């Protein structure tokens, strides 16, 4: 009998439903939870290569710096200042990145970008259409990279890997079922890769750029442990979301993200109060 689903692992660790286009990662406690070991292994080829890390000042890019600064010898950070005439559009990024870079002793510079010109003449729409970016902010970031190319490997901060799935129902990040289910998995947004990673890969390939879109996606082992870290945090904290009624939840996703990254207790942060621009 034909089946539309495919699964791997014993116990099961991955499944894909062809009819629905949904992939699932099932989380089991690993024998060795040492994500640093895997980062060190995958970054060995980059050890002495020049690295340009896009430091927005947010906790995602701060984590990325912790990883690359630990295992690479030639890391520089740049923060884009998005200018609208004489005004800085992203002052929070500028301040947060400076505080973090000074704390870490990072090689850090600012690069100004004329945001008004890029938006008002519809360059941003043409650029986004060419590479299939669905966000003008991400398209702007990509254009900044293109304008500042050198022989570096460029690194983007990425995203915390968090979506909780328990007992056949999908809940917001941070929700803790009572009792905690042992059958815990992470349900992937079926369009996640298409929306976030495919445009960046298309952009990098067309322009011959050595680009690392997300440190967590550098190997399957790292990604698995990133999801496992989600499970650890969900089990430890359960006060972030709270029920408004039987069907609705409310939660502080930024607070959860901070808890997620701080669970990697070997990394250092200077966490901004909030991330407003998305740049």
pTM to 2 decimals? 0.82
The whole-number pLDDT of residue 211 equals 97
The whole-number pLDDT of residue 249 equals 46
What is the DSSP secondary-structure string of 80-124? EEEEETTEES-HHHHHHHHHHHHHHT-EEEEEEEEHHHHHHTSHH
Is the backbone of residue 39 left (phi > 0), alpha (psi -120 to 50) or beta? Answer: alpha
Lowest average pLDDT, out of 12-16, 120-124, 216-220, goes to 12-16
Q: 180, 87 in Cβ contact below 8 A?
A: no
Asked whether the predicted pLDDT for residue 182 surpasses 70, the reply is no
Token couple for 250:
């409310």
pLDDT-based confidence at residue 134 (cuts at 50, 70, 90): confident
Distance separating alpha carbons of residues 1 and 37, to the nearest angstrom: 43
Question: Which H/E stretch holds residue 77?
Answer: strand 75-84
CATH hierarchy code of domain 12-27+34-262: 3.40.50
């Amino acid at each position: 009998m034909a089946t539309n689903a495919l699964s791997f692992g014993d116990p099961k660790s991955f499944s894909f439903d062809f009819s629905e286009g949904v992939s699932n990662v099932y989380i089991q406690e690993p024998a060795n939870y040492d994500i640093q070991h895997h980062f060190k292994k995958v970054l060995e080829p980059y050890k002495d290569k020049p690295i340009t890390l896009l430091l927005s000042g947010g906790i995602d890019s701060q984590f990325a710096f912790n990883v690359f600064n630990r295992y690479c010898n030639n890391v520089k950070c740049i923060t884009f200042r998005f200018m609208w005439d004489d005004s800085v559009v992203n002052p929070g990024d500028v301040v947060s990145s400076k505080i973090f870079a000074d704390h870490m002793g990072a090689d850090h510079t600012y690069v100004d970008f004329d945001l008004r010109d890029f938006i008002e003449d519809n360059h941003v729409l043409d650029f986004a259409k060419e590479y299939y970016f669905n966000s003008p902010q991400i398209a702007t970031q990509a254009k900044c990279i293109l304008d500042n190319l050198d022989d570096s490997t460029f690194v983007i901060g990425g995203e915390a890997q968090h979506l909780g799935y328990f007992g056949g129902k999908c809940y917001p990040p941070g929700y803790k079922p009572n009792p905690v289910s042992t059958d815990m998995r992470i349900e992937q947004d079926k369009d996640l890769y298409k929306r976030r990673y495919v445009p960046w890969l298309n952009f990098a390939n067309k322009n011959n750029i050595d680009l690392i879109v997300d440190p967590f996606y550098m190997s399957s082992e790292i990604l698995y442990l990133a999801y496992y870290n989600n499970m650890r945090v969900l089990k430890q904290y359960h006060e972030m979301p709270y029920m408004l009624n039987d069907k609705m939840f409310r939660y502080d996703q930024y607070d959860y993200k901070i808890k997620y990254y701080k669970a990697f207790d070997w990394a250092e942060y200077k966490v901004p109060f909030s991330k407003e621009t998305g740049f």
